[in-house]
A and B are shown apart, each in its own frame.
Chain A
Amino acid sequence: MAFTTFDDYVNSVKQKCPWVKTTTRTVVANIWFSLFDIAGNPGAGTLSAGNTANGVVPDDTVAGYPLLNAFGGGAVGILSRVEFANTVACRLAVWDCLFAAGAYAFNANTTLASQPSYSGRVPGSNYSGLELWLETVTAFTGNQTIAVTYTNQAGTTGRTTGSIATGVAPTIGRMLQLPLQAGDSGIQKIESVVSTIATVGTFNVRVMRPLWSARVPAVNAGDVHDMMRTGLPTLYATSALFAAVNCDSTSSGVPELEMEVANN
């Protein structure tokens, strides 16, 4: 089955997935922050990915990600609608987190092995567009420098982000998207993680497929993005929906997302 007509949408099975936080996090203006470990609905997750040697492919059953109902046999899933608001002006974004590894120490120098494949969560086996992110698990002392090597979207190994001097001592939850090597547009696999210079702190590395983003232009503002604005990105019944905020000021606010996952 698939979504080819409006009738397919009307007739589809729809599930609402709340992602609501009940407390705030101190953030840095204009920087992405994870709220994965903040209380709410779904209940808080554990920030550390829990595996540095191989990494993991998180799914919806892992604490912190919204649980999804099974799709009907042969059904295709989409993110068909997002209702959103926040008590502060900010940007909001949602990804399917395909791979997570960590928490790595401030001085990690780890070559990963036997990494689990996330190919089953990549629509059309097209790895282009997948993003590489850092996520701070515990606060750093000293400015972190990071380098990640990876296999690119075409399967070419030994690609590298280069040595990225973050210029900051990241606080808990702070996220940073790492640039890919020139000519690359996606990631099949993380190969190694090297962190230097800082003296305290831990972090995760995440590979994520972007699904949706929007702007909350003012305090207490919000909107509804229907299927024409979400663009019907493909979802799986095992997708690990991961949301983050990028705020205008120093509080995350209390963001509210109601995501509609339709399958047909």
Chain B
Amino acid sequence: MAITSQADLRSAARQTIRWQRVISANSDALPMYSSAIGGAGGTTFGSWTSPGNTTSGIVPDSTVAGYPTIQSFNGNAGYIAEAEFVTTSAVPLIARLVDVLWMGGPFTRAGSGSYTLSSQPSISGRLPGGSYLGTEIWAWETFAGGGPTAITYTNQSGTTGRATGSGPSGSFTNAPTVGLYPLQAGDSGVQKIEGLTLNTSFGGDIQLMIVRPLLMLNSVLEWEGPNPRTAERLSGPLQTGLPQIYDTSALAVFFRGASVSTSYSWDLKLDVVSG
């Protein structure tokens, strides 16, 4: 089944997913990973933990702690029909809702810092149309550290031995910070992580992720004279674009604050339809 018309949309089964996060302070101007942040603000699905798998990684799903529970679609297709995003912070946030398709770690910087993965589980079951285009590689730092990390991967077309560029240049000093890794020239997606080499000059460890971007949820700005203030962003079907998700999707939010020393709190409500 699928939702193919406005009538289908109106008659579809609906469920609401809501979560809140409060961050006391962020010493990095890099994105932070919501699901790593403890259950502040009445969240019902707690904090994310490391997958604890450095040989193959795992395909996390909505039953894993740290991701919101999604009720069964009963064999139907699911979509995000509406999103409400509001921050109580005075400064705007850039936020991205993603489906975490694969995760591996913790990869430690002890020893050589080199890892070669094998028997990675397939992520193809969580890709609409089976297309890997648009998938991205992110790293999640759980401890102090930084510096370049070389990641090899199989690209969207199945070409092996592709390599990312250096990761974010900022210091990953304040967990939980995440950063996007640039793909090799000519690539627009990722099928599989093959291996990585960490800079052993730094301490700490990282988790790697392959994600599928779903929505961008920036703060809305309203102006009082020359001074902007943030307001609620309401996105209906035209604004969300009805991105398809699965009842197994592992939803997470990456967000970036504008200030390095500001507390943030935000609230996200998603209306998920299936039919």
Give me the interface of A with B, judged by CB distance under 8 Å. 6-7, 10-11, 13-18, 20, 22-23, 39-46, 63-64, 66-69, 80-81, 83-85, 87, 217-224, 226-228, 256, 258, 260
Contacts and interface: CB of A to CB of B under 8 A. Distances in A.
B182 A220 contact: no
B219 A221 contact: yes
Interface in B162-187: 165-169, 179-187
A6 B92 contact: no
B216 A42 contact: no
Interface in B5-63: 5-6, 8-9, 29
Contacts of A40: 180, 182-183
B228 A218 contact: yes
Nearest to B3: A10
Given A81-B239, A85-B218, A42 B187 contact: yes
B241 A80 contact: yes
B183 A43 contact: yes
B216 A63 contact: no
B1 interface: no
B216 A224 contact: yes
Given A15-B133, A68-B133, 16 more contacts: A10-B242, A13-B129, A16-B134, A22-B165, A41-B183, A41-B188, A42-B188, A43-B186, A44-B182, A69-B129, A69-B131, A83-B216, A217-B228, A220-B94, A222-B216, A260-B241
Interface of B: 3-6, 8-9, 29, 91-94, 96, 129, 131, 133-134, 136, 156, 165-169, 179-189, 213, 215-216, 218-221, 228, 233, 235, 237-239, 241-243, 256-258
A84 B96 CA distance: 11
A91 to B, nearest CB: 15
Contacts, number: 142
Contacts of A69: 129, 131, 133
Contact of A6 (B6, B91, B168, B243): B6
B188 A66 contact: yes
Given A22-B181, A39-B165, A219-B92, A224 B235 contact: yes
Contact of B5 (A11, A17, A87, A218): A11
6 contacts: A10-B9, A43-B187, A43-B188, A63-B185, A219-B92, A256-B216
Contacts of A15: 131, 133-134
B239 A224 contact: yes
Contact of B213 (A16, A23, A222, A226): A16
Nearest to B233: A224
A49 to B, nearest CB: 15
Contacts of A43: 165, 182-188
A219 B219 CA distance: 11
Most chain B beta-carbon neighbours within 10 Å: one of A15, A20, A66, A67 = A67
Nearest to A21: B182
A222 B238 contact: no
Contacts of A260: 241
A223 B215 CA distance: 11
A161 B258 CA distance: 42
Nearest to A45: B185
Contacts of B91: 219-220
A44 B241 contact: no
A227 B182 CA distance: 29
Contacts of B233: 224
B238 A84 contact: no
A2 to B, nearest CB: 16
A68 B167 CA distance: 25
A64 B186 CA distance: 6
A226 B238 contact: yes
A11 B1 CA distance: 12
B218 A221 contact: yes
Given A22-B180, A221-B92, A221-B228, A7 B186 contact: no
Contact of B4 (A10, A64, A226, A256): A10
B4 A85 contact: no
Most chain A beta-carbon neighbours within 10 Å: one of B29, B188, B233 = B188
Given A11-B5, A43-B187, A217 B238 contact: no
Contacts of B213: 16, 18, 258
Contact of B180 (A20, A85, A217): A20
A217 B229 CA distance: 12
Contacts of A20: 136, 180
Nearest to B136: A41
Q: A-B pairs with the 9 shortest C-beta distances? A: A39-B182, A222-B218, A83-B216, A63-B186, A67-B188, A220-B258, A226-B238, A11-B4, A43-B183
Contacts of B188: 17, 41-43, 66-67
A66 B187 CA distance: 8
Contacts of A17: 133-134, 188
